[in-house]
Amino acid sequence: MKNIVLVGMPGSGKSTLGIVLSKSIHYGYIDSDSVIVAMRGKRLPELIEELGNDGFLDVEAQVNGMICADRCVISTGGSAIYRPDAIRKMKERGGVVVYLKIPYEEVERRLGDLKKRGVVLKKGYTLRDLYDERAPLYEAIADYTVELDNSSVEENAEKIRRTIVCEISEN
């Protein structure tokens, strides 16, 4: 059975929309960041501090690569794109990757302190640098790109559902 794998910038709504979408299509829901926290017993900012960016990315890739599920919406961490082999494994297991694309200005508005959010940020990088670096990576790995706006969570979840309806109706 197919899974819906959500990718996108921190603050794009992967977790919030993932929960609403999963309910609307009667799928389970998995948040890979929550799996990492449960497995490691620490919050993301603590793990990034302890392991460094590369160490954290390795843990994130390991967790994403081992998620085996059927008929689930899976929200990945924003940095999952830096280890694309894990996303490819999800695709090989029947995952359909959906990039939740939001304008930079909206990402900036939604995010507070990046360190407190547990965002992997290279030294000297700004949020704009991060956005510009990641956007083409998300687009390259995605099967679908859904451009989100300031609509309600329910309306944006419906946008995603309409985009992937052919995928979920094959299940």
Rounded to the nearest angstrom, the gap between the alpha carbon of residue 92 and the centroid of all alpha carbons in its chain is 17
Query: Is residue 73 scored above 90 in pLDDT?
Result: yes
d(CA 109, CA 102): 11
* Mean of pLDDT values over 142-161: 94
Kindly state the average pLDDT of the residues 21-29: 95
pLDDT for the residue numbered 103: 94
Taking 80 as the threshold, does the pLDDT of residue 170 lie above it? no
Total length of the chain: 171
Kindly tell me if the per-residue pLDDT of 17 is higher than 70. yes
| Mean pLDDT score across all residues of the chain | 90
4 three-state secondary structure:
strand
At 139 the pLDDT is: 96
Alpha helices in the chain (DSSP H): 14-24, 32-40, 44-66, 84-92, 104-110, 114-117, 127-141, 153-169
Nearest Cα to 15, choosing from 39, 44, 55?
44
Class of domain 3-159: alpha beta
- Average pLDDT score over residue span 35-43: 93
Q: What is the mean pLDDT of residues 67-80?
A: 91
Say if residue 117's pLDDT is above 60.
yes
Q: Is 2 strand, coil or helix?
A: coil
